[in-house]
Amino acid sequence: MSAELEAEPTFVDKFPEEARIIRAAMWGSFLALTLGAIFGIIQTLHRTGLARPFSSVDYYTFLTAHGVFLVISFTIFFLVGLFTWAVVRSLDRPLLNTKITWTWYGMMAVGMTMTGISILAGFTSRIDMSADVLFTFYAPLQAHPLFYTGLVVFIIGTWVAGADWFRTWLAWRDENPGERIPLQTFMVLTTMIMWYIATLAIAASVLLFLLPWSLGLIESVNPTLTRTLFWFFGHPVVYFWLMPAYMLWYTVLPKIAGGRLFSDPLARVVFVLFLLLSTPVGIHHQYLDPGIAEGFKFISMTNTMFLLLPSLLTAFTVVASVEYGARRRGGTGIFGWLRALPWRNPAFTGMMLAGLMFAAGGFSGMINAGLNINYMIHNTIWVPGHFHLTVGTAVALTFMAGAYWLWPQLTNRPLYSPQIGLAQVVLWFIGMALMSNAMHAQGLLGVPRRTAEPEYAGFEYPMAFGGFEELNLQLAIGGTILFVSTVLFIANIVITSWSPKASGLARPLPPALSGPEDAPKVLDNLRLWVGIALVLVFLAYALPLAGIISNSGVFGTGAGTYPVWIDVPTAVAERALAVVTGVTATLVNAVTGVFTL
Amino acid sequence: MHVHAYEKLWLALAIVLILLLIGSVTYGAVGPGIAMVADSQDPVDPQALDEDDRFAEPRVEQVGEDEYAAYVEAYQFGFDPDPIVVPEHSTVTFYVTSPDVIHGFQVVGTNANTMVVPGEVAEITVEVTEPKEYGVICNEYCGSAHHAMEGTFEVVSEEEYEEWLDENQDGDDTEGGAADEDGEEGEDA
């Protein structure tokens, strides 16, 4: 009998079509990462004044592209790939109909391409189009209608993806009556419920206000209202990035460490807590907004602080699971077991370093969440310093480490170079430590975020933690190391994809020490959690939204439009109608596809 | 559901930490009295600021003994008035709005910091002490020349403030309206 026949089948052996879709999603993610990294290094050098080959006007186009491609495209394409893998693997059954799967993949790809084109067109004046609105697209700054339309198509694509996974789970449930939802599928479903609730607000903001406004159909919007709807979505989206990383920490990291997850029930509790708490906190991004009463800000602050709980629980469970693995590998002593861990494995080291950085990001997050201390750092470069630790490392580095582990099982090709992989994750950690530290420190000096030229004519920054210039240098060195790290990652994955195939690459995941049978049944009652989540969202948002509307009206007090993209309502009405009809048709097709197929 | 004893301890400590954090914010609000920017001011029509009593003439105005009100317009791409001048050892309340897009208003190196949203009026009160000149910047991206949007906030001595008033307030000065002096560090908002 040949070795190949003996080897356990990999994911791609068992589910070749699903593996193809997952690879396609991840290629989308890696393409966005590549573009985002190129824009990132340009920004780092421009902002710090080390090299300014482009104009400061173009800086904002780079900044918009960097933000949108990394926080929307890179993260979410990786998520849909990983979630598809997790659902199929943990249910051990194929998706119901891969035509639907390719449909949502196509919608996401087309939507992101539309949005991407509208942003990149800002580099040339020959095309009358731009979207220099950054990833937050605060009105009354206006992007070309293509920008908003692309976002809507992309988000509807993610909705169909969620429906695809739910349907597959329902089919599995019929085949396996009475069984507990497998942990990874549970994580996918709870995360998607959170996503549906969160994206309702952004869909409303874009479809009711921003898109019609950009088409010239309505004259003005209420800037506080669209901003509030953005952050209704904008905070849970950070957990949408983070939950796939948590899934890898809970279900894959313990296995790589040589052990298994400590507690399946607590993992479920954590995901339920995120479902409940991640949406009713968005107002903490608006602590300094006029037009929102102080009491609502205080409520949002307390909810935000309680959101620390699931992350603190995760820290315990993940470390305990890793320690269990180390002890099984022969590790001993209070801290001596750390030496027994597989530090040469880039997947392991990458995830551990990502987790460590997340702890640091958690500390700066507590400062951000502190209603009154936030005055010091609001809109300073401290804030991007914070989220480059969270989404930029906890999430991004975990995804890269996860790719080192997963990619061979999706391709039957062993990773080209684990050594380069190891160097890559360590470089990311070092680069981010430098860059993020400099950003936090500059933020305390009052250096603003989101600016092409943070040096001003009229004043000098105070000195602390090293001066402004010194920190600029540190920031640029960190950013350059991060760029090199990204290049190494992409190269490793690309070369792997052309490497010869091999067998024996399957890495099955063991069940938890304390399994789902220990988890109270109520945890799997998704309807209950949806209900509570909606009640909490209602409590947190009904009064603030009512207050905003009663203060300044649904369409505001007459804010202008900057710039005006399309000015002649009647001329455009037809075109708008065509767009709406097209989108509706796609939506109807997708939805009927979901329910009838 | 089995929960390990150490995990129970960890959970308890986590909850204590959360309560301490909430407690510290609450203390900041009721102890030092740090108030939040809120909806205390009536909204305005951003394209008709010249019809609004507060912003028809951006200015600094004395409203009490050692108390000043600064009505500031943050626009693409600058601040009016500029400089904002107030006398030392005074309490200054900033009222800031925008005629165009969303801006930020931050006195650099202090906690005097707020969003400036068209249609809304941000109100923050700070206490200034010794004479000092501060930079004021827009810290929210507001368009292609965002990085050029800056101003100054000057806290000056009583004598300098009188001089400044004489120079800027007599005659038919419609531009600056009431004169002001300079300001200083934000204490609480």
Helix (H, G, I), strand (E, B) or coil at A187: helix
Euclidean distance between CA atoms A420 and A145, whole angstroms: 43
Euclidean distance between CA atoms A65 and A46, whole angstroms: 15
pLDDT at B177: 40
Q: Which is nearest to A388 in space by CA: A42, A28, A27, A44?
A: A44
Above 70 in pLDDT, residue B33? yes
Domain limits, chain A: 3-562, 572-597
Q: Which residue has the higher pLDDT, A48 or A583?
A: A48
- Which positions ≥6 away from B71 have C-beta within 8 Å? B54, B55, B57, B58, B59, B60, B61, B95
Both B21 and B65 in one domain: the answer is no
Q: What's the rounded mean pLDDT across residues B45-54? A: 94
Q: Which is nearest to A232 in space by CA: A345, A136, A359?
A: A136
Q: What's the rounded mean pLDDT across residues A202-207? A: 96
- Which positions ≥6 away from A245 have C-beta within 8 Å? A354, A394, A395, A398, A399, A402
Among the listed residues A47, A89, A388, A413, the single catalytic one is A388
Above 80 in pLDDT, residue A323? yes
Dihedral, A307, A313, A316, A317 alpha carbons, nearest 10: -130
pLDDT at A125: 87
Above 60 in pLDDT, residue A284? yes
* B151-176 pLDDT per residue, tens: 999 999 999 999 999 988 754 444 44
* A129-145 pLDDT per residue, tens: 999 999 999 999 999 99
What DSSP line would sit under B96-147, residue for residue? EE-SSS-EEEEETTSS-EEEE-TT--EEEEEEE-S-EEEEEE--S--STTGG
Euclidean distance between CA atoms A398 and A250, whole angstroms: 12
* A438-492 pLDDT per residue, tens: 999 999 999 999 999 999 999 999 876 678 999 999 999 999 999 999 999 999 9
pLDDT at A584: 74
Cβ-defined contact of B4 to A551 (cutoff 8 Å): no
Q: Which residues of B touch A378 (CB under 8 A)?
A: 106, 113, 139
Q: Which is nearest to A353 in space by CA: A419, A388, A420, A398?
A: A398
Q: Which residues of A touch B140 (CB under 8 A)?
A: 138, 379, 450
Q: Which is nearest to A424 in space by CA: A446, A393, A401, A443?
A: A401
Both B114 and B60 in one domain: the answer is yes
Instruction: Find tokens 């296995």 and name the residue.
Output: A255
Above 80 in pLDDT, residue A201? yes
How wide is the angle at C-alpha A246 spanned by C-alphas A243 and A251, nearest 5°?
125
Across chain A, mean pLDDT equals 93
Cβ-defined contact of A376 to B21 (cutoff 8 Å): no
Q: Which residues of A70-91 are buried (b: 16+ CB within 10 A; e: fewer)?
A: bbbbbbbbbbbbbbbbbbbbbb
A44, A476 contact by CB (below 8 A) = yes
> Model's pTM, two decimal places?
0.92
pLDDT at A490: 98
Encoded amino acid at A57, one letter: V
pLDDT at B170: 57
Both B100 and B155 in one domain: the answer is yes
Cβ-defined contact of A263 to B2 (cutoff 8 Å): yes
- The beta-carbon neighbor of A292 closest among B38, B110, B152 is B38
Both B102 and B162 in one domain: the answer is yes
Work out the minimum CA distance from B57 to partner chain A, whole angstroms: 20
* A395-442 pLDDT per residue, tens: 999 999 999 999 999 999 999 999 999 999 999 999 999 999 999 999
Cα nearest neighbour of B109 on chain A: A446
A444, A464 contact by CB (below 8 A) = yes
Q: Model confidence at B123, in pLDDT bands (50, 70, 90)?
A: very high
Q: What would the two tokens of residue A509 be? A: 């995941």
- Which positions ≥6 away from B8 have C-beta within 8 Å? none
Work out the minimum CA distance from A223 to partner chain B, whole angstroms: 7
What total number of domains does chain B contain? 2
Cβ-defined contact of A459 to B46 (cutoff 8 Å): no
Residue A125 C-alpha from the chain's centroid = 32
Q: Is residue B139 part of a domain?
A: yes
Residues 179-218 of A with CB under 8 A from B: none
Cβ-defined contact of A452 to B147 (cutoff 8 Å): yes
Above 90 in pLDDT, residue A593? no
Q: Which residues of B touch A458 (CB under 8 A)?
A: 135, 150-152
The yes-or-no answer on residue A167 being catalytic is no
Q: Which is nearest to A149 in space by CA: A199, A112, A198?
A: A112
pLDDT at A518: 87
The yes-or-no answer on residue A575 being catalytic is no
- The beta-carbon neighbor of A370 closest among B14, B21, B37 is B21
A349, A401 contact by CB (below 8 A) = yes
Q: What would the two tokens of residue A178 be? A: 């009475």
pLDDT at B182: 38
pLDDT at A568: 54
Q: Which residues of A touch B43 (CB under 8 A)?
A: 291, 551-552, 557
Domain region containing B10 = 1-34
Which residues are paired to B123 by β-bridges? B95
Cβ-defined contact of A140 to B134 (cutoff 8 Å): no
What DSSP line would sit under A212-256, residue for residue? HHHTTSSS---HHHHHHHHHHHHTHHHHHHHHHHHHHHHHTHHHH
Dihedral, A262, A265, A266, A270 alpha carbons, nearest 10: 130
The yes-or-no answer on residue A235 being catalytic is yes
Above 80 in pLDDT, residue A571? no
- The beta-carbon neighbor of B37 closest among A290, A298, A552 is A290
Above 50 in pLDDT, residue A559? yes
Mutant choice from A222, A289, A300 vs B, greatest count of B C-beta within 10 A = A289
Above 70 in pLDDT, residue B184? no
Euclidean distance between CA atoms B142 and A450, whole angstroms: 10
Euclidean distance between CA atoms B133 and A356, whole angstroms: 41
Q: What's the rounded mean pLDDT across residues A189-204? A: 97
Q: Which is nearest to B127 in space by CA: B93, B159, B96, B97?
A: B93
Q: Which residues of B touch A286 (CB under 8 A)?
A: 115
Both B11 and B85 in one domain: the answer is no
Mutant choice from A228, A456, A521, A561 vs B, greatest count of B C-beta within 10 A = A456
Q: Is residue B40 part of a domain?
A: no
Q: Model confidence at A585, in pLDDT bands (50, 70, 90)?
A: confident
Q: Which residues of B touch A316 (CB under 8 A)?
A: 6-7, 10
Cβ-defined contact of A551 to B140 (cutoff 8 Å): no
Any idea what the CATH number is for the domain that residue B130 is in? 2.60.40.420
The yes-or-no answer on residue A449 being catalytic is yes
Both B86 and B158 in one domain: the answer is yes
Dihedral, A401, A403, A405, A408 alpha carbons, nearest 10: -150
Q: Is residue B183 part of a domain?
A: no
Q: Model confidence at A7, in pLDDT bands (50, 70, 90)?
A: confident
pLDDT at B4: 84
Instruction: Find tokens 């824009």 and name the residue.
Output: A39
Cβ-defined contact of A375 to B113 (cutoff 8 Å): yes
pLDDT at A262: 85
A123, A63 contact by CB (below 8 A) = no
Cβ-defined contact of A294 to B35 (cutoff 8 Å): yes
What DSSP line would sit under A246-302, residue for residue? HHHHHHTHHHHTTS--SBHHHHHHHHHHHHHHSSTTGGGGGTT-TTS-HHHHHHHHH
Q: Which residues of B touch A141 (CB under 8 A)?
A: 101-102, 141-143
Instruction: Find tokens 């939204």 and name the residue.
Output: A545
Q: Is residue B177 part of a domain?
A: no
Both B163 and B84 in one domain: the answer is yes
Domain A3-562 classification at class level: mainly alpha
Please report how many Cα atoms fall inside a 13 Å half-sphere around the Cα of residue B2, on the Cβ side. 11
Above 50 in pLDDT, residue A597? no
Q: Which residues of A touch B14 (CB under 8 A)?
A: 308-309, 312-313
Q: Model confidence at B180, in pLDDT bands (50, 70, 90)?
A: very low
Q: What's the rounded mean pLDDT across residues A219-245? A: 96
